[in-house]
Structure 1
Amino acid sequence: MNRALSRRGLTVVTALLTLAVGGPSAAAAGGPGSTPYLPRPTGSHAVGTTSLHLTDDSRPDPWASGVSARELMVSLWYPTASTSGRRAQYMTPTESELLLKDGGITGVPLDVLSTTRTNAFTNARPTGPVHGLPLVVLSPGFSKPRTTLTTLAEDLASHGYLVAAIDHTYESVATTFPNGRVATCTACEIPHDEAFWKRLIRGRAADVSFVLDELTGAHAKWDGARLIDPSRIAMAGHSVGGASTVTSMLADSRVRAGIDVDGTTDVPIPDSGLSRPFLFLGRQAQYSPGSGGGAVATWERDWQRLTGWKRWLVVAGAEHASFTDVGLLAEQVGIDIGADLPAARASQIIRGYTRAFLELHLRHRLQPLLDKPSKRYPQVMFCTPETHTCV
């Protein structure tokens, strides 16, 4: 396995296949004919969702030769009072097929992910006070569609956040545009050396800044943009999306707080430091301080340069896919991702700690969950990198 794939935990779905090969087929191990579903959001608000097609004419696409503008698809989730519409489709049959084929997964229908039951209502009217909703930007792992963070997005929206998840075009196995065109992962075909990851992460930071311009600028492209409070913006990401959070915060002061979920930080924080709140959240097996070089060494380096509020948490029994919808849906169709921690429990953890972080830093509400280990979540350990300890 080459170094880049090892550090990224492979593509998430490929990891699922690798663990499933040689064991029971997905169909035999799971519940044939059952419909995958996302867990219900925990907040009091119903959730609406819509998608935006945005074009940045100021820069060429970094991956598609000869394309003079950067096109992005962005999904929004938000509170709504309208629950009479149809539930949103998780992904299209083509997107499901491309994602499963990318992992070489057999034993399940190729369109199975397109049948996944969601909790958000398509194009429902957003509700909330003008400039009253904090905005959270989500960035998925490399080769993964933005939809793989839907469970987290729906949950945050149910608690009164507006969430924007970005498909970084040509970095995902499938990005579908309104005219039906599907962009695939051109970047997957490029050698994944250090220069590649730095190029990708800096490109994602540019994507994030452009999306913020489009959502909070004077000529916002979405009718509900007036609900966004531009002074309360945070970002979270998984894998390389998490690593991109650091770079986005360095590049754009509008991002007031950030979370890196299980992502190696290839582009370091400069010696001048980063003073805004930051949370590292990762696998115990990969990101326990003092466990050696590689991925954890990048966190140890950057920890010293985080000069504001910060926490380093690790989750026992989790795997890379545990922190996204992929772990949940894989478990439902009978694919073993190799995690000792049940996927539903991992989902509770990622939603609970992400929400606590955002409540503290965007709404300034005290969150005891972030002060010390919790009996409610015994799998989550607080790490002190200076002493190489986690409790």
Structure 2
Amino acid sequence: MRLFEILLALSCFALLIDVLFVQTNARKTGLVLTIGSTVIFLIQMFIEGYRWQMLLIYIMTGLLIIIVSSRHFQMGKNRKSRKLLKYSSASIMVILMAVSVGLSVYMPVFHLPKPDGPEQVGTQTFHLTDLSRDEVLTEDESDKRELMIQIWYPTENKDKTKRGLLFPKDKEMFKKYIQTYSTSLNLPDFMFDYWKYSKTNTYENAEILPSTNPYPLILLSHGMGTSRVLHASQAENLASHGYIVVTIDHTYSTFATIFPDGRVTDYKTKMKTIDERRKIGSMWTQDVQFVMDQIEKLNSGVIKSQFEGKIDLDHVGAMGHSFGGATAFNTTYLDHRIKAGVNMDGSLFEVKNRDVINKPFMFIRSGSFKDWLVDFKKDKNSDNEINNEVNKQLSDELSIMENVTNHQGNVIYVEGTQHFNFTDLQFYSPLIKLTGITGNMDGKRGSDIVNQYVLDFFNTYLKGTGGDLIQGPNGKYPEVKFVESSEL
């Protein structure tokens, strides 16, 4: 809960105690509580802002202010009816207050954790159109493939701008954005309205920090059905350590993507078969390669921007989560411009002719990977194979991992995590743990572990520094387990 939300809840409780137990002749106490509660109420509404989780406390605070004020001006009158009122409603009010506080705690106004690097972080968004590719996920045959990307970079923030919001600032765009989410999840729009208060640690359109050397580049892809928004903290942390990070929205494979003209696209991707996965994977790979082409134009000055000459195109990495992690692997394998890559808990969509990868690569898997590996090997050796094609795909993927461990790479898993511990979703609400899509590990701890190992990996292979964490087990992070090639 935010500061004035806590104070408002406490003042509401104090008003209730006053109504229940304070004598009617204690005029000053009631007057002070009434004035204080009114001031806190107004500050919370106009400074922090209304959110629906606090609605019951808003209503009860207003009612209690009226009751206490009335008692102040009508001492001793209607004492019988007032006594009936306080005993019949007190238990209900306490329950309602607890509900409102619970909703506020478990559906909080969250902010992204502060990056641990020395630099402040700036960000800019770009709208790109690949005129060489038709959009195959829409019915209009004239559509071309459009992407939104967000670039994160070190800055001094000379203009002293305020921290940016995580979600669109424009009210209409924000409304369209949460409508897309609510439709997908079959929930009412107002459930997500409080997201408008969530802040990043980033300064929009700030000038890039001058440097004698250009900054290494990392391309980051989200998972299927999510969006680049869920990887903002990862991008911030890398940028704070001297990287330029480009997060990509793979259009029509996100919950929502907002374009500058106000259009909001939703999820239209279908992947029921392995062949369909490969086709979409090929599209995402082409997305990353197209974005890389545009970054080259930004760096050369063909596209005018503040990034001209600031990007080190000889030291480029790719990373992603889930399907985006598989895309990072595929792009790293195919594109000579990408020197190293990280796959965060993503099963590969393409394993043919991918046996030997001659570049540094790291697979980071969730805590269930070890058990899955044991079970898979048992099923593979049994006579009860349900789907030979799927098993062959997974077996080939393990062979790729084995080759990675033998060629400047790592396969690790993090105990206590699940699939979405590799995204910012773990910050949205403690209730998400109940769904099982995040593990029992604290969200900030999980985020820190992933950030540190990703940073150490890219520092090693893109900057030539670090390497302590990826060498083997580390006492600071006992949750991280290294998988040997013999185990795969």
> TM-score, structure 2 length as denominator?
0.69
Say whether residues 1:302 and 2:378 are aligned partners: no
Change in Cα spacing, 1:345 to 1:104, as seen in structure 2 (3 Å) is farther
**What SS does structure 2 have at the residue aligned with 1:31?**
helix
1:254 pairs, out of 337, 344, 360, with 337
2:282 is aligned to 202
**What SS does structure 1 have at the residue aligned with 2:376?**
coil
Say whether residues 1:89 and 2:165 are aligned partners: yes
Change in Cα spacing, 1:271 to 1:140, as seen in structure 2 (3 Å) is closer
Change in Cα spacing, 1:134 to 1:321, as seen in structure 2 (3 Å) is same
2:376 pairs, out of 272, 285, 292, with 292
Cα displacement (A) at 1:386 = 1.4
CA distance in 2, matches of 1:184, 1:374: 42
CA distance in 1, matches of 2:448, 2:312: 27
Change in Cα spacing, 1:278 to 1:77, as seen in structure 2 (3 Å) is same
1:54 pairs, out of 116, 124, 128, with 128
2:347 pairs, out of 255, 264, 274, with 264
CA distance in 2, matches of 1:245, 1:67: 29
Cα displacement (A) at 1:32 = 6.6
**What SS does structure 2 have at the residue aligned with 1:226?**
coil
1:131/1:226 contact within 8 Å kept = no
Tell me which amino acid in the other structure corresponds to 1:258. Answer: G
- 143-152 or 268-277, which moves further after superposition? 268-277
1:327 is aligned to 426
1:211 is aligned to 291
CA distance in 1, matches of 2:484, 2:162: 47
Name the structure, 1 or 2, with higher relative contact order (CA <8 Å, separation 6+). Answer: 1
2:207/2:306 contact within 8 Å kept = no
2:237 is aligned to 155
Change in Cα spacing, 1:224 to 1:300, as seen in structure 2 (3 Å) is same
Unaligned segments of structure 1, at least 5 residues: 1-23
Tell me which amino acid in the other structure corresponds to 2:166. Answer: Y
**What SS does structure 1 have at the residue aligned with 2:122?**
strand
Say whether residues 1:74 and 2:155 are aligned partners: no
CA distance in 2, matches of 1:268, 1:225: 37
- 68-77 or 211-220, which moves further after superposition? 211-220
**What SS does structure 2 have at the residue aligned with 1:386?**
helix
1:314 is aligned to 413
> TM-score, structure 1 length as denominator?
0.86
Unaligned segments of structure 2, at least 5 residues: 1-97, 169-173, 378-390
Cα displacement (A) at 1:173 = 1.4
Pairs within 5 Å for 1:360-379 = 360-379=460-479
1:242 pairs, out of 305, 312, 325, with 325
Query: Deviation digits for residues 109-133 of structure 1, max 9, x if unmatched?
Result: 3223332111000111111336510
2:426/2:432 contact within 8 Å kept = no
- 242-251 or 355-364, which moves further after superposition? 242-251
Cα displacement (A) at 1:308 = 2.5
Pairs within 5 Å for 1:177-188 = 177-187=259-269
Change in Cα spacing, 1:334 to 1:145, as seen in structure 2 (3 Å) is closer
**What SS does structure 2 have at the residue aligned with 1:43?**
coil
CA distance in 2, matches of 1:205, 1:342: 33
CA distance in 1, matches of 2:432, 2:274: 35
2:105 is aligned to 31
Larger Rg: 2
Query: Deviation digits for residues 132-190 of structure 1, max 9, x if unmatched?
Result: 10000000000111111001000001011000000001111111000111111111xx2
